[in-house]
Amino acid sequence: MLRLALVLFTLVASALAGAGVIAVLSMGYFTVPAILGAAAAGFVLAIPATWLITKRIYTATRG
C-alpha cells in the first residue's frame, strides 16, 4: 500500500500544486511568495488526498 501511495503522491502533488499556481496567477498575484505559497499548499493538501485515493483503490482491489 505504501508503494501505491508514493506513486500516487507524485501525481496528486504535482496536479494540486499546479492547479494552485494557476489559480494564484489567474487572480493576478505575480509575486514569488504567492506562487510558492500556492505550490506549498498544493503539496500539503496532496498528503490527505493521496491517502484517501490510495485507501479507496486498495480496498476496491482487495474486495
- Per-residue model confidence as pLDDT tens digits over 25-62: 999 999 999 999 999 999 999 999 999 999 999 999 98
- Per-residue model confidence as pLDDT tens digits over 6-24: 999 999 999 999 999 999 9
Q: For the chain, which residues make up each domain, given as ranges?
A: 2-62
* pTM: predicted TM-score of the whole model, two decimal places: 0.90
Nearest to 22 by CA among 62, 7, 14, 59: 14
8 Å CB contact between 15 and 45: no
Query: Looking at 1-63, which runs of residues are DSSP E strands?
Result: none
